[in-house]
Structure 1
């Protein structure tokens, strides 16, 4: 992993507000995040916490008439929010590419998967159809799709879920991007296939030197693949640190709650699965204080009055919480 001071991907005070409904919905609220070359960063949290919205901003996939995006989004020094339509078309897939959560919806149902990969390669590079086909075949072999030549001719609905996800990874890698966005790539798969896909992603990342932003609601999956983890809640990053730090010394009550709700931990102890009481807040009417306070057993009156600023616990380890010392007492229970 390159630990150079200047990150390859830089987000600063990112805000994304959707304006299509009766009330504006602030899905992302002041997010700052770095991704260095060769690094894997995982964004974790419950559905609706702003993970995928943050990721999609890097490709400017939000509808411009129904969304407002402010802040700084830079990739390799380029201002992504200032790219023209022509520049954006060249940037997508070539500089930054994405593995979507449901490949059956992301892949075009009326074209063979191989044809879609060939089209993507020829869109970005001046190569013949035969050369693009050869590269597509090599990609299928790389992601370990059986009978790759035959599968290139298959339509998305003719593939299994795991095979479609591998094809989606091949498509995302077709034009040799430097940044790979993985939006919950294992959610719709069974446990065995999930592990295979996670191992494949980590192997490809190491072999190709990719920078990866990995979105998941599964903290166990994040620990398996990520160098650093950022925990999101109600559109904000509430804790960030190395995977090792967040597992061993979590300092935000939401991170602790996510750790305690891991299924394998409950099954190993023969106990019932723990859940997080309550529900996330309405993003169209966020409370004035800490957004997690209503679900937090450690909340005090101060937590309800103002949003906490980040507290530096160690170099690179931050938490937005007024009671980090009290949270420390809960950490051994969560880790155990």
Structure 2
């Protein structure tokens, strides 16, 4: 039995999330198990619609309760996330777990200065004066390397560049010293140079503060840069999970391999044609009986369409859901 010291800081078991507001229920997440240790960075990767952001947002209970059915277990530290009351949830958000949203221009309030929003967040969770909170906000801006921090605290979101807004979003997420940082594709809307700067900043802050981080991205290259472990999601399930170096060197699920082959920096550098994944992800209102990737998989056999594969453990920390796992010993394309 695990001792309390050995328990993962984030422990998600058999998570199922169904949106019920439309004509048919949408099974957005279908039996996800995810564990994150203290001080560990785990990346969730996959195409749009694979369930990455839905899983991430569920850890803050951000989905509308009236139109969402959540089943399973979610624990963060000693908190049972699904059992938190409205008041407990308000204390949990920001103090225990905090999020960096994909588009800070939408996440930040346009009618208040960025500094005022950080000050409000600090005072919501701690009994400090406005002056103390203002000083903390200034220190946060300095920590995330925003130039002229005193002046930028007075700026409104629209007065900042995309990279500066994302740094301000990181400062806001760290304002109350959370233990878990949730990053929802934080570099998608940024140019390549700024993306690298933000990724390096996140990794530096994570190590400095000892944060547990769940990082959502569709870019496996970005995941490798920041993550200790990678979980590959497809149609609401984790189909492969393991150490970042292992998945880059020896992917064992056909979908993971296809994602690697579709990377421009991996394929074009060798003078080969950039590969694509044919077809489209399945309809989440009518998931297939078997493997959800079978219709797009070059290795699929009739058995793949008949039943969903169980988890196969290849070695410590590396698991895959694939009936053809014995036949996937192929060299990595990168």
TM-score for both structures, normalised by structure 1 = 0.97
Deviation at 1:158, TM superposition (A): 0.4
Deviation at 1:335, TM superposition (A): 3.0
Q: Which residue of 2 aligns with 1:335?
A: 333
Contact 1:4/1:36 (<8 A) preserved: no
Q: Which residue of 2 aligns with 1:113?
A: 114
Gaps of 5+ in 2: none
Deviation at 1:77, TM superposition (A): 2.1
Q: Which residue of 1 aligns with 2:55?
A: 54
**Is residue 2:179 matched to residue 1:178?**
yes
Deviation at 1:270, TM superposition (A): 3.1
Gaps of 5+ in 1: none
**Is residue 2:98 matched to residue 1:97?**
yes
Q: Which residue of 2 aligns with 1:236?
A: 237
- Give distance in 2, aligned partners of 1:210 and 1:4: 16
Q: Which residue of 1 aligns with 2:273?
A: 272
**Is residue 2:213 matched to residue 1:212?**
yes
**Is residue 2:87 matched to residue 1:68?**
no
User: Per the alignment, in what secondary structure is the counterpart of residue 329 of structure 2?
Assistant: helix
Deviation at 1:4, TM superposition (A): 5.1
Q: Which residue of 2 aligns with 1:202?
A: 203
Contact 2:41/2:229 (<8 A) preserved: yes
**Is residue 2:89 matched to residue 1:88?**
yes
Contact 2:267/2:333 (<8 A) preserved: no
**Is residue 2:214 matched to residue 1:192?**
no
Deviation at 1:267, TM superposition (A): 2.9
**Is residue 2:284 matched to residue 1:286?**
no
- Give distance in 2, aligned partners of 1:277 and 1:24: 26
- Give distance in 2, aligned partners of 1:301 and 1:284: 22
RMSD of aligned alpha carbons: 1.0
User: Per the alignment, in what secondary structure is the counterpart of residue 13 of structure 1?
Assistant: strand
Q: Which residue of 1 aligns with 2:20?
A: 19
Q: Which residue of 2 aligns with 1:222?
A: 223
TM-score for both structures, normalised by structure 2 = 0.98
Contact 2:45/2:219 (<8 A) preserved: yes
Deviation at 1:274, TM superposition (A): 1.4
Q: Which residue of 2 aligns with 1:316?
A: 317
Deviation at 1:271, TM superposition (A): 3.2
